[in-house]
Chains A and B, each alone.
Chain A
Amino acid sequence: MEPLGWIEIIGRMAWQFLPVWIALAALYAVSIATKRRTGLYGRLFDSPVGMIGFGIVMFWVFTAIFADQIITHNPLSQVSGMKNVLPGTPMKAPGGSYDWYLLGGDNLARDVFSRMVMGARRVLAIAPAATAFAFIMGISLGLPAGYFGGKLDTSLSFLANLVLAFPVILLFYLLVTPEIRETAIPGTMAAILFIFPLLFVTVAINSRWFPKPRQRNVMLAVSLGLGLWAYAGLAFNADPTGIWSMEPNLLNVFVSVVFVNSPGVFRIVRGLVMDLKSRDYVAAGQTRGEGPWYLMIWEILPNARGPLIVDFCLRIGYTTILLGTLGFFGLGVSPESPDWGSTINEGRRLLSIFPHPAIVPAVALMSLVLGLNLLADGLREESLRD
């Protein structure tokens, strides 16, 4: 069989991405048809920048969802004779799952295209989750710091500045080096970090429903039950059913990413709360006799959502970059995993001879971050309009 030309490679790749195109088209059709009724999300479709950004982001999200249908080969299987082959090379023995290596093979003779697609799944599974944890931590510390002020604010801000002043890369190395990993530091940090969502939900429910004890008790019991179950599994790896668990390597990466991100969120939330707490609706709540936590979580926080959503988009991009950095230094999730940072790291050794194994994930990562940045820009533009 002949090797494929560039036009044919692009055509075949577009065909492989067919489920993604269909999903994207359906999403856009529905969203544009109902854009007058969906608030900020609908207004996103008025700005071309936001639409392009949203398109790129959703492309990768759908790629992650349909990854099993898109891949042409097993991302971990090695085929003899396909080491470092150029894009479009036919298989030595036709009749397998697919007759070409669309974007060539890497230095262990694995299919670059399939690894890139599966990498999207890894990246999109970790980055938003880690960002969400950083947000919950930042919010649950930033709300009281901004609302109460005083000594609490001073000490928390000092801690946040301390973490922010430390070079990120150094922090990673300190957290992920074996000597420190063997100590109890990562485990303790995980235990502290993962308790914040639990605390946050508990306080949120209690502050709103405490006048109706029965309803509150039911809600608290359900959420605490689920939460503690997940907490035991994630932080201590002690879930009896084994549904919630995290490899220690992944846990380390997760903890360090959350730790690095949350001071930034803390500062934003604190600033927003300081601005919003002088508003009339907060004063009205205070005269009504509402507790401080009710005001913070149910009055101030929903009104601060605009800037927070924008920052969330930007921060996912930043987290993706950080994860890539970790992978690039070989501190990533696991050496076999197809996530983009580790693939770039593997590919860079032969970069000047065979650039394609490193270029493909590099371009993928760049486009995802670019999409997130454009999306954040569009959201900011649209939320500032009113």
Chain B
Amino acid sequence: MSRLAGVTDLDARRKQALEAHEAAATVIAVCDGPGCNAAGSAKVAAALRRAVADAGLEGSVQIKTTGCHGFCQCAPVVVAYGDGLFFRGATPDQAPAIVEAAVNGQPIPESVLYRHPATNEPIALERDIPFYAHQERRLLKHASHIDPLQVADYLAVDGYAALARALTEMTPEAVLEEVKQSALRGRGGAGFPTGMKWELCRRAEGDQKYVICNADEGDPGAFMDRALLEGNPHSVIEGMAIGGYAIGASRGIMYIRAEYPLAVRNAALAIEVAREMGLLGEDILGTGFSFDLDIVTGAGAFVCGEETALIASIEGFAGEPRPRPPFPAQRGLFGKPTNINNVETWANIPLIIRHGAAWFSEIGYERSRGTKIFSLVGEVQNTGLVEVPVGMTLNEIVFEVGGGPKPGRTIKAVQTGGPSGGCIPASLFDVRVDYESLAQVGSIMGSGGLIVMDDRTCIVDVARYYLRFLKSESCGKCTPCREGVPRMLEVLDRIASGEGSDADIDLLGQLGRTVKGASLCGLGQTAANPVLSSIRHFRHEFDAHIHEKRCPAAVCTALITFHIDAEKCTGCTACARACPQQCITGERKQPHVIDPERCIKCGACLDACRFDAVVKE
């Protein structure tokens, strides 16, 4: 990869990339994000390449592997360019038929055809699928167009044009002003205005400044940042270089959690290529501006997403936070002024510089502008990555994009903001998903995890889950978080086992207030949110556990029993054979009985029964 001496070289390289793309008559993109990869996308891609070769179409059909397209529910996902034919659950044996459909317009084989989950109507084109149709894709617009290992793919969609524009046509102050005008706010969750953050660092005195990309995404169920880094690492690199220019930083660090090996690899390869091309390093594009990037991998601690702990971790110390001030903008990495932004925040920067602040902020709600990527997971029809305008209502996200509940279920709540956020009951789904509105209902925007829960989810159990997570992730430095979170968990365990009392609710409130009010860092200060918000919105479920000794969702094992409905039992013995306790007895072809004394409530009998005779309540 030869070095680009200036913007003319960059434009020439872009033209080359576009011409190469136009030469291929048909492009079939195979999503190779971890979800699709786990479902066999590598084998599908190999089979597609073989099918193309067998049909003698190597010259005109190109098979491209890309980062995550977002519709993980349909893994492995394959899309043919042009109209955007969509193939769900692709398998190697369907490869020839997929190539036929893409090239010759043959109908999509039934086994890989997407059907509307409610109406069963077939949908051939990606853009017509409700999951995609209701999104506003800006950051993910080119998810299916970019092979993360091919910089040409990024150049072909105007990659690095924003960096070139910033360096040649704008002063650092003008770049900063543009970002301020856009009203972009930190996508890591707290929503601090990005431009203002940059300005604080720019104004701070220091011979050396740093910019850092926080890719320590740790919320359970959240994978937006991972998908961006894996699928389009150059967009993050470009954003950071622009940030370095505006702030006056010549060095940048991507702090990526070690549990994301593909993100680490793709980012490292992209940095290497960008350096070879002269888009990183000394004298970028002949403008005299120098900026270089390194990757530091995290050592597996949720708290390292907190800015001061992240800095300590990069410096080689244990990942523990320290009180602020001084803020990183004043005294950050190695004591120098440092600006830390989340992956998605950085990825928005090239778009803002390329299209302008006005374009960016034309969508959104009140003080929250632009789009936000969410990972929509849990008990909903369409799971995956969704990018929507900030301020869309939860109803729209869950029911229109997400397709609503699974068959026969009802959705009861959504957890936003992961272990730092709160659960929002379905009765409040009119709430807009923006920083201020979510705070009003006791939750937070967070980094973008949206976990949907239905009537089979027990709120007490979910609160316990988050507290268990936080207990194991607390660094232990400050008393309220280290000691308070495990005590809250003890109280919840008591409630879940049917031994709770009304005093326990008060105790949770008191502990929660102190953990929230007195903890040192953001992890502790938000740790009580899942519990406090679930008590606020689902007090009746707590009361059922406490007063009626009943778990309405039939989840908390201490409060449920399994028995067999003699009317329905056919005596097939399937349950007795599945039972690990061997506590189900009965003659063949006669109703069986579960011995409640020995039953460990594992649910194996329920899964084994084909006649709905096993009852859990």
Whether A and B are associated in the same complex: the answer reads no
- Which A residues fall within an 8 A CB radius of B? none
